[in-house]
Amino acid sequence: MDDRRIAAVMVDVAADGTDKPFDYLIPKELVTEVTVGSRVKVPFGPRKRIGYVIDFPARAQIDRLRPILEVMDLTPPLTPELVRLARWMAQVYLCPLITVLQAMVPAVLKGNYRRFLRLGPAFSGEDLLPEAEARLIRLLREREELTLEEAIGLEGVTQPLIRRMVDDGRLVMEERVGDRTTRKRRTWVVPSQPAAILRNEAESLPKNAARQRDVLHHFATRPEEIPLQELLADLKAPRSAVDRLVEKGLLRRMEKEEFRDPFGGRSFARTQPLPLTPEQDQAFQSILRPLQAGEHRTLLLHGVTGSGKTEIYLQAITETLNSGRQAIVLVPEISLTPQMVRRFKGRFGDEVAVLHSGLSKGERFDEWRKIRSGDVRVAIGARSAIFAPFPRLGLVVIDEEHESSYKQEEQPRYHAREVARWRCREHGAVLVLGTATPSVESYFWARTGRFEWVTLNERVLGRSFPQVEVVDMREELKEGNRSIFSSPLRESLEACVDRGEQAVLFLNRRGFSTFVLCRECGETVQCPHCDISLTYHRTNQTLRCHYCGYASGVPRECPSCDSSHIRYFGTGTQRVEEELARLMPGLRVIRMDVDTTGRKGAHERLLSAFGEGEADVLLGTQMIAKGLDFPRVTLVGVIAADTMLHLPDFRAAERTFQLLTQVGGRAGRHEKPGRVVVQTYSPGHYSIRLAAGHEAETFYRQECLIRKRHRYPPFCRLFTLLLSHPDRGGLMTAAHRAAQFLMPRLPEGGEVLGPVPAPIPRIKDRYRIQIMIKYEDHTDEPTDLVEAMRQLKAGLKDPELRIGIDREGVSLPFDGYR
Ligand code: ADP
Ligand code: ZN
Ligand code: ZN
């Protein structure tokens, strides 16, 4: 240990040229504290920054090293394994290492940098000073210190003025680094004298000090510590009573760190493992075998909705815990519902940490700390829970593995499935990919033997699949029905409500107009900065751009032809709701979309209202498509099945198939038989036809053929480069140059497609061009290609040009990542 004198630190400055570690001296007194994964405070230029220790080099890059100033946590937030993972991710996702390291820790640890001002040594009185300076100095006298922002908020005080005052020594500026939110503390009270003395003191108190006497009597019989709030509430005593006793030296206050509990001490009814069906047991055994042998395996658990996958996860986790290891369960954010959480809390109680975006930063931090400290052994959460710092990972479950939300769309642009695979290899752990509708890639890997493949074809307790009816909307139109609702859907809905049952109506968010359309010239109102229609928000009567945030009032006249024949389309769900009210007056509808679920807890509230029968219809977007389980739902209506088919995305058919299958799974989960009505303008499309017929196998085979023919993943890999620039001409030149640079550096069989305008050709006044690179699926990393991209990025001279690089076609096996 003692020979560790130098630490390589990744410093929190994400500028070009700093994506490399800097060496720092480890002061003697910190030697035992600094390890790989420690978060440290270091000097960087004239400032102090946070950094992560990633290595202990034997020799330094330069002679005179500066020392590490401080180790910021008692337990390092990262483990050596996670640091290794970060290095791998930085390489394959072409992203600065510090960005990856920070993505792995809770937001509160990212640190904030605040600058404080104090009066300096050269300060000599405030007479004869200009007004602004005098004001600043007066306030500093009063408060001793101000943050830089507070100072600049004062009238007349500017940054240059402060700089001048710092330069001539009248002010001192100090930068401090701290955590974003402090750990939550709570005040506790304990007696500092034995019971006999407390009793004596109580007797000698004056008559009017009854509350103090109560407090002393309390501690005389129960000398253990108690939270101050609780004590005051129990005894109905004022805080001053305790204050007085503390002053007299009879009691002592103490601060204790506390975990916020997002479930507010709610208890969950404990559940016992269910006896597995033969099919379930077979699946369970294929997880159990490698788990007990400590061998890495990836297993695709392809089971129809309601086939009991979750019960299998629960029992596999029990085995994992029994063997002294830990488990991570990933679920898509939107299916991290109270129902789901209850199932895990019900089986594992306090052993579970739940990580989702509905928690405050502090709550998330606390859940994470339980993982880091070993207090819990199961983590359930959305994408980033894959970084849960467990030391002996035994099992990772990715539920609904086909979900696109497992891919992060900002740096680091990782896919949780790939990261999971890396970690499971490292730990000799089992990775279970569970879904009713696998991604085409996972299906293919399972069929060709890279993943193990287990299927569950029956619904538990022999419940039947719903009957699916596909309605051709073109026929409806021919017959003069211009409503959003076809007659079959309308009739089924009426019948369902008449029987006292419930219906779910599903609308694909992307498919429905939320724009303003001119009926004279057909133009939609566009964002002035982006090539995209503005979205109409009915609640506050504005038009907004979802890309840049631009907002305007709703125009009375068409901006391009001045016609007043303008039509506002509300959000799709609002339109459907209006139409329902018109067709079936008195129908009780709960609408779930971004507008109604914005507030914290709204999602949960609406769902439980529906579950308790307060409405006949649940109407919503994607967010109702999965995970929900309501016994009284016997009808599912899909308003427009094909809206997604026309997106410029090679996964369009896959997504349509998955969505229809998932939505259909919501009907008839219980005793009552279910029915699904799918409205579409393309009833013949194979994704719609095969989803309606429950013909998954046929769909996947056909989709694989198409992918192979057009050379898309899993039959090749993709890199997508997105270049943007405020000047169209400059962008075109740069894009062509980039393509030419890459062409000769491609691996064998590689091809460059483009440059072509991106699907949204302009955002925030920047033009966008895309280049796609397809290359062969060899088992090892395309190191040369990644290196070429690095060079390309490094060689960019134009400061206005930005380039984003994304790996599409993720979910690759990466057998050769080392
Ligand atoms: P999936 O995750 O595949 O959609 P679930 O695990 O949610 O399926 O199971 C569907 C329903 O069947 C749940 O209500 C669950 O409690 C129940 N269930 C699962 N396995 C069994 C079993 N072996 N015996 C009885 N009920 C079961
Ligand atoms: Zn815009
Ligand atoms: Zn017009």
424 is in an annotated binding site: no
Q: Which CATH architecture has domain 467-513+570-707?
A: 3-Layer(aba) Sandwich (3.40)
Mutate to test the pocket of ligand 1, among 301, 310, 437 (most ligand atoms within 8 A of CB): 310
Secondary element (H or E) of residue 146:
strand 146-147
pLDDT given for residue 659 in this prediction: 86
Over the stretch 21-62, which tens digit does the pLDDT of each residue have?
999 999 988 888 899 999 999 998 888 889 999 999 988 777
Nearest-Å Rg of the Cα atoms of the chain is: 31
Q: Is the CB of 305 under 6 A from ligand 1?
A: yes
Ligand nearest to the CA of 530: 2
Q: Is 274 in the pocket of ligand 1 (CB under 6 A)?
A: yes
95 is annotated as contributing to ligand binding: no
Q: For residue 159, what pLDDT is reported?
A: 78
Residue nearest to atom 26 of ligand 1 (CA): 460
The two tokens of residue 342 are: 């209850």
- Please tell me the distance from the alpha carbon of residue 351 to that of residue 377, in angstroms, as a whole number: 5
Does 310 sit in the ligand 1 pocket, CB within 6 Å? yes
CA distance 537 to 516: 10
Q: Decide whether any atom of ligand 1 lies within 6 Å of the 665 Cβ.
A: no
d(CA 578, CA 52) in angstroms, rounded, equals 55
- CA–CA dist 680, 659 (Å, integer): 14
Q: Where are the domains of the chain?
A: 6-110, 113-177, 185-258, 278-462, 467-513+570-707, 521-567, 717-807
| Distance from Cα 14 to the centre of ligand 2, integer Å | 26
Q: Which atom of ligand 1 lies nearest, measured to the CA of 310?
A: 6
Residues 417, 433: contact at Cβ < 8 Å? yes
More confident residue, 293 or 783: 293
Is 704 a known ligand-binding residue? no
User: Which range scores top for mean pLDDT: 313-322, 524-533, 737-746?
Assistant: 313-322
Domains 278-462 and 467-513+570-707 share a fold: yes
CA angle (350 as vertex; 346, 352 as ends), nearest 5: 75
Confidence at residue 496, expressed as pLDDT on a 0 to 100 scale: 93
Cβ(514) to ligand 1 under 6 A? Answer: no
The pLDDT assigned to 81 comes to: 97
Neighbour-count burial of 493, counting CB atoms closer than 10 A to its CB (0-12 exposed, 13-18 middle, 19+ buried): buried
Looking at the domain 717-807, which fold is it? Alpha-Beta Plaits (3.30.70)
Least confident residue range of 42-56, 109-123, 295-309, 772-786: 772-786
Q: How far is the CA of 759 from the centre of ligand 2 (A)?
A: 14
pLDDT in tens, 171-186: 888 766 655 445 556 7
Complete DSSP assignment for 89-141 = HHHHTT--HHHHHHHHS-GGGG-EEEEEEEE-TT----TT--HHHHHHHHHHH
444 has a pLDDT exceeding 70:
yes
Taking the CA of 528 as reference, the closest ligand is 2
Beta bridge partners of 725: 767
Q: Answer for the pair 387, 379: CB distance below 8 angstroms, yes or no.
A: no
Using the mean position of ligand 1's atoms as its centre, give its distance from the Cα of residue 305 in Å.
Answer: 9
Nearest CA to ligand 1 atom 25: 274
Domain 278-462 has CATH 3.90.170.10: no
User: Of 300, 302, 311, 402, which is best to mutate to test ligand 1, by the most ligand atoms within 8 angstroms of its C-beta?
Assistant: 311
CATH 3.30.420.40 fits 6-110, yes or no: no
- Which position has the token pair 């006793």? 245
Contact 161, 132 (CB under 8 A): yes
Position 745 scores a pLDDT of 87
User: Residue 255's pLDDT band (boundaries 50, 70, 90)?
Assistant: confident
Nearest of 364, 261, 377, 255 to residue 319 by alpha carbon:
377
276 Cβ closer than 6 Å to some ligand 1 atom: yes
373 vs 627, residue with greater confidence = 373
Nearest CA to ligand 1 atom 23: 276
As a whole number of angstroms, the distance between CA 360 and CA 262 comes to: 9
pLDDT of residue 614: 92
Which amino acid is present at 115? R
Is 545 labeled as ligand-binding?
A: yes
* CA gap 210, 238 in Å, rounded: 11
The CA distance from 623 to 334, in Å, is: 6
Q: Which of 132, 177, 138 is nearest to 155 (CA)?
A: 132
Closest CA to ligand 1's atom 24: 274
Ligand (nearest to CA of 566): 3
pLDDT tens for 763-799 read 889 999 989 888 876 645 657 787 888 888 878 778 8
Ligand 3 centroid – CA 525 distance (Å): 9
For a mutational test of ligand 1's pocket, the pick from 339, 458, 460, i.e. the residue with the most ligand atoms closer than 8 A to its C-beta, is: 460
- How many angstroms is it from 221 CA to the middle of ligand 2? 68
